[in-house]
Amino acid sequence: MAPPSLTRGVKLLIKIGNGASPTEVFTALCSINAQRGITFNSQTNDETVPDCTDLEKIAWIVREVESLSVEVSGGGKANKPDVPKLFNWWKSGESKNIQIILDDATAANVITFAGAFKLTSFEVTGDRGGKAELTMSLASDGEVTGTFGANVTPS
C-alpha cells in the first residue's frame, strides 16, 4: 500500500497580484499565517421529474449545473501593513489576480489555481491579552483555472 501524497498546511499559499504589466508579481500577505482554504462551488437548477409510468411514485430531483464559483479564505495574526492594503482593495471594489498554490519542493507536485477575485470581506479582531487577528474572504470574478504538476495530473 502506498502512502498518500500530503502537503503541510503552510504550503497552501494565497498570493495577490500587483497588476503590473507586462509581468505581474504575486506575493503572499504575512497576515495569512494560520488558516487558509479554497472552496469550489456549483450553482444548480433543480427540477422534479415524475415517473411517467406511475405518476403516484415519489419523483426524483435532477440537477443541472448553472454556474461555477470559487471562494478563498485566510487569516492569522494581523500584520499591520496588510490592513491598509486590504482596506484600499475592499473600498475600490476592484478585482485582483490571485494565485492559490498547493506548493511542494518538487515542481511536478505543485497545484496552482488562478483567476480574478473580489475581496468580499476582511475583519480585524482582538482579545484582551492576545494579539490582533485578521481574516479575509475572496470570491471569484470570472473563470478560475487549474494547473496540475505532472505527478498530480488526474488519471
> Would you write out the chain's pLDDT as a tens digit for each of its 155 residues?
778 778 888 999 999 999 999 999 999 999 999 999 999 999 999 999 999 999 999 999 999 999 999 999 999 999 999 999 999 999 999 999 999 999 988 889 999 999 999 999 999 999 999 999 999 999 999 999 999 988 886 65
Q: How far apart are alpha carbons 96 and 94 in whole angstroms? A: 7
Per the CB < 8 A criterion, the answer to whether 109 and 152 are in contact is yes
pLDDT at 17: 98
What domains does the chain contain, in order, with CATH numbers? 9-41+71-149 (2.30.110)
Cis-peptide, bond into residue 22, ω within 30° of zero: yes
CA 37 from chain centre, in angstroms, equals: 6
Q: Is the pTM of this model over 0.85?
A: yes
